[in-house]
Amino acid sequence: MTARVIAIANQKGGVGKTTTAVNLAASLAISERKTLLVDADPQANATSGVGVGKEVDRPSLYDVLVDGRDPREVIVPDRELPYLWTLPSSQDLVGAEIELVNAADRETRLCEALRGVVEEYEFILIDCPPSLGLTTLNVLTAAKGVLIPIQCEYYALEGISQLLNTVRLVQQNFNPDLAIEGVLLTMYDARLNLCRQVAQEAKEYFGAKVFRTVIPRNVRLAEAPSFGKPILLYDVQSVGAKSYLSVAQELVRRRESDPVGVGGDPS
């Protein structure tokens, strides 16, 4: 077993990256797929989203990236889901980008660190911060696929070409196998023309890469993080829970039809 490593990235803020990372990871885990959720955002919302507390002395991704700590010493098992593990983040990750600026291997640190654990999981999902800085470059270098959440709102596709340029740069310099795993439409409201229009544009641009499942705007998805729970442990009957379970199934199907994970052109 070698994990399918998926970066959840979009430098635009608040588009549903963390919600997707947490709930997709939990959905894969409940389907008995061994899954590691890596929180690569100093905001640490994915960490708290699965109920991992912010104890001051808890080691985090910072220690892995900056001090070369073995990720096995940092990864924590989930309290409730036996197939889920988390590599938590912490606020000090903000400093990592500056501390690593002169390191020769600064873009490949995460990739190297995960090398030791990729055999232990079926999926590794990595939540990116809302920027295209060094941390995101590390994540894209470590990943096989990029999952891009797109919020159905005005200017939804703005900035996407910048993201795709970064993907190309990483392909050319660090990770030739990197591919677009999929595009996920989030906070969808079928009553709004605008949402349908964004969905249409995304399909014109990304074709079959767009997941068939769309994530509707659902208040239960927004409530669950304050309880430190993924949606399926908070309200399994909600449309939000069902939608993320369905995306997880699409991911599993894609993985099975492309087991080596070699991708094509990102666009």
Select 216 or 225, whichever has its Cβ closest to Mg ion: 225
Select 102 or 191, whichever has its Cβ closest to ligand ATP: 191
Does position 230 bind ligand ATP by CB under 6 A? Answer: no
Quote the tokens at residue 75.
């990864």
Instruction: Please choose which of ligand ATP, Mg ion, none residue 207 contacts, taking the beta carbon within 5 to 8 angstroms, the exact cut-off set by kind.
Output: none
DSSP label of 76: E
| Contact pattern from residue 186 through residue 205 relative to ligand ATP, giving x for each residue in contact according to CB under 6 A and a dash for the rest | xx------------------
Judged by CB under 6 A, which stretch of 30-38, 40-48, 79-87, 231-239 contacts ligand ATP? 40-48
- Helix (H) or strand (E) holding 105, with range, is none
| Contact pattern from residue 25 through residue 54 relative to Mg ion, giving x for each residue in contact according to CB under 5 A and a dash for the rest | --------------------x---------
Does position 109 bind ligand ATP by CB under 6 A? Answer: no
Distance CA 215, CA 244 (A): 7
Minimum CB–partner distance for residue 143 and ligand ATP (Å): 17
DSSP label of 74: T
3-state secondary structure 209-259: HECCCCCECCHHHHHHHHHCCCHHHHCCCCHHHHHHHHHHHHHHHHHHHCC
Question: What are the backbone dihedrals phi and psi of residue 24, each rounded to the nearest 5 degrees, phi first?
Answer: -70, -40
**Hey, which residues between 236 and 255 contact ligand ATP (CB under 6 A)?**
240
Binding-site member from 19, 47, 135, 136 for ligand ATP (CB under 6 A): 19
CB 209 within 8 A of CB 189: no
Instruction: Please choose which of ligand ATP, Mg ion, none residue 19 contacts, taking the beta carbon within 5 to 8 angstroms, the exact cut-off set by kind.
Output: ligand ATP
Does position 215 bind ligand ATP by CB under 6 A? Answer: yes
Select 2 or 43, whichever has its Cβ closest to ligand ATP: 43
Does position 18 bind Mg ion by CB under 5 A? Answer: yes
* Cα–Cα distances in angstroms (integers) from residue 265 to residues 36, 174, 238, 262, in the given order: 26, 16, 36, 10
CB 7 within 8 A of CB 128: yes
Minimum CB–partner distance for residue 2 and ligand ATP (Å): 27
Select 81 or 221, whichever has its Cβ closest to ligand ATP: 221
Instruction: Please choose which of ligand ATP, Mg ion, none residue 159 contacts, taking the beta carbon within 5 to 8 angstroms, the exact cut-off set by kind.
Output: none
* Cα–Cα distances in angstroms (integers) from residue 80 to residues 29, 34, 141, in the given order: 10, 14, 31
Does position 221 bind ligand ATP by CB under 6 A? Answer: yes
Distance CA 13, CA 120 (A): 31
Does position 14 bind ligand ATP by CB under 6 A? Answer: yes
Binding-site member from 130, 159, 228, 263 for ligand ATP (CB under 6 A): 130
Sheet holding 145-151, edge to edge: 76-77, 84-87, 35-39, 123-127, 4-8, 145-151, 179-186
> Binding residues for Mg ion, per CB under 5 A?
17-18, 45
